[in-house]
Structure 1
């Protein structure tokens, strides 16, 4: 929660707060062999950050009455008690008819504590299905209670987890029909499971996704690949980002950890990359702006989108000796004659470069 301490009235004991002991907090249940039943749902829209104006009607009243406790409550409660206090007023999702039984097969990112986003990710088997799937679970009980940037302040973990669930669902609804199974994992719906806590139950949301047969880019060392191979995976990632934006979703977190390659051989003819992790995205239609594809025939060229600077967190895949001139020349060589994207006029690139230099 970014703010300026010069304009924010800090409580006198703000520096004394630490996450309290949690003697009643159960171990993470999402381990190999864990079995559960879930019901498919359609969550409400996201409601934090730029989406705060989206909730209306009953959902808006629900948020005002059942969510966003004051800071004093968060500073004097435990995660267990906070999650229990909201269990009687679960997130109002539209209940669908589909139910299914699942079993956790392998843990991908199942951890408790600080230093991570909070969601739990694992592969699972759906009863009656042959292929394995990936579940991404938004359980507030295992989100970090201390704010990552301001550890003396408690996080509203319930609001954060529910917003992540709603936002990632909305992103997949926006993108799945066009790109599910190609540029992103195929979406298999949003679900609720019941988790016991102190002789009661609470509902936890998760999204169900295609299990990608590939390797995360952040597990590969750029130094082990040729310049051509590095630029190839970089080009595919940039094209995917531009295509997703054209369909109405700005990813906002393109990084090696969120890029899945179809294999370790980056020279393979059938190399593909897919983009994952949509809980930081901007979804244009939700904010009143139509997706560019609604009125335009072709996406913007990567030349225009990345002119003057490469994707920030992909820098290690850019040749070390390159500067802006080499980068811009590669953009033109790669997409200058492409019919897949809009044509870019040279004089426009000059204007873009000047704007970048003046930032």
Structure 2
């Protein structure tokens, strides 16, 4: 008998069927996660060894998600529609009806951090660590931004925990968050070239402004790209254009690589506005602007300086050193001289 070499189906033991289908009902209880886990989720030698001997479902039964604190709110939910569901996904996203319990809306989005349906053939990532890190980061980011009064995100309805029952009285626990259902389209679902340039410029202006505002209040999204931006009002009336940022699983509250290190964090001037002229200047392969090549068909740096020209006088040498790679500083200086001498 031949056996599968894929760690998702070791010894031909398949994963259970995905439960997150239309009509599926489940109960959740409020759950407060610990502080965000800003650590790598690389596959450890110990977990790699377990992959060789134990099927993925059994490993999931023995891996409890990261511990926090139970709350008191209980909800009963029913899957209304799958938004992004499937094996090999880092998370499962569904639209649910609230059939008992109270939330501001009766229909919300549930994002579930279920390691069972991660791709366990990935040699670089430990799915159990990954979902813990993403869950704690994303829930912390939404709590923080909602507390800051930010309207550029879906409303956050909290973090929850659920138990999924399997045969032989087995069950496993999955963490999730609930969010406002925002109507609209992700940029990645839209064909950029059908929109006129002035519309695309208006979209990019909103994205840059939102990202800069989040950075001003010391949050780095770290995955600003078309799939994580929802556009509402994709007609030609620019007055009805709205954008929302989603997916904060990579987000970090703080500016430095180690926000817990107060001295290092001070080096990044927390709370100070940093111009897009520095953080969005285009150089080969530089993120996040390189993620929007399909949307930007004009001279980006020329437009950037035209749009944020008034920022030039407030850009200091310290900012240049901190936020521009060496190869880009001369490019910035040449452009700045065209629009007004930097300080």
Tell me whether the two structures share a fold, i.e. TM-score over 0.5.
Answer: yes
Quote the offset at 1:253 in angstroms: 1.0
> C-alpha separation between the residues in 1 aligned to 2:217 and 2:12?
44
8 Å CA contact 2:41–2:125 kept in 1: the answer is no
Say whether 1:41 aligns with 2:19.
Answer: no
Q: 1:179 to 1:302 in 2, by over 3 A?
A: farther
Aligned residue pairs total 310
Query: 1:47-106 CA deviation, whole Å, 9 max, x = no partner?
Result: 353699xxxxxxxxxxxxxx984421122211111011225xx53211111111111111
Quote the offset at 1:24 in angstroms: 5.7
Q: In structure 2, what is the equivalent of residue 104 of structure 1?
A: 79
Q: In structure 2, what is the equivalent of residue 150 of structure 1?
A: none
Q: In structure 1, what is the equivalent of residue 273 of structure 2?
A: 299
Q: In structure 2, what is the equivalent of residue 55 of structure 1?
A: none
8 Å CA contact 2:199–2:238 kept in 1: the answer is no
> C-alpha separation between the residues in 2 aligned to 1:138 and 1:25?
16
Quote the offset at 1:193 in angstroms: 0.6
Q: In structure 2, what is the equivalent of residue 213 of structure 1?
A: 183
Q: Structure 2 matches for 1:322-333, cutoff 5 A?
A: 322=298, 326-333=299-306
- Among 219, 233, 239, the residue aligned to 2:203: 233
Q: In structure 2, what is the equivalent of residue 81 of structure 1?
A: 58
> C-alpha separation between the residues in 2 aligned to 1:296 and 1:33?
46
8 Å CA contact 2:56–2:120 kept in 1: the answer is yes
8 Å CA contact 1:35–1:102 kept in 2: the answer is yes
**Shift >6 Å, 4+ stretches:** 294-297, 346-351
Say whether 1:316 aligns with 2:291.
Answer: no
How large is the RMSD of aligned CA atoms in angstroms? 3.2
Q: 1:171 to 1:297 in 2, by over 3 A?
A: closer
Output the TM-score relative to the length of structure 1. 0.76
Output the TM-score relative to the length of structure 2. 0.79
> C-alpha separation between the residues in 1 aligned to 2:261 and 2:79?
39
Q: 1:196 to 1:154 in 2, by over 3 A?
A: farther
8 Å CA contact 1:39–1:100 kept in 2: the answer is yes
The range that moved more, 194-203 or 278-287, is 278-287
8 Å CA contact 2:27–2:76 kept in 1: the answer is yes
- Among 2, 6, 17, the residue aligned to 1:27: 17
Q: In structure 1, what is the equivalent of residue 338 of structure 2?
A: none
Query: 1:319-359 CA deviation, whole Å, 9 max, x = no partner?
Result: 1xx4xxx322211221224xxx7854598999858642789
Q: In structure 1, what is the equivalent of residue 215 of structure 2?
A: 245
8 Å CA contact 1:17–1:75 kept in 2: the answer is no
Say whether 1:197 aligns with 2:166.
Answer: yes
Where in structure 1 are there 5+ consecutive unaligned residues? 1-15, 53-66, 148-152
Query: 1:176-215 CA deviation, whole Å, 9 max, x = no partner?
Result: 22245x1111111110011013321211000111111211
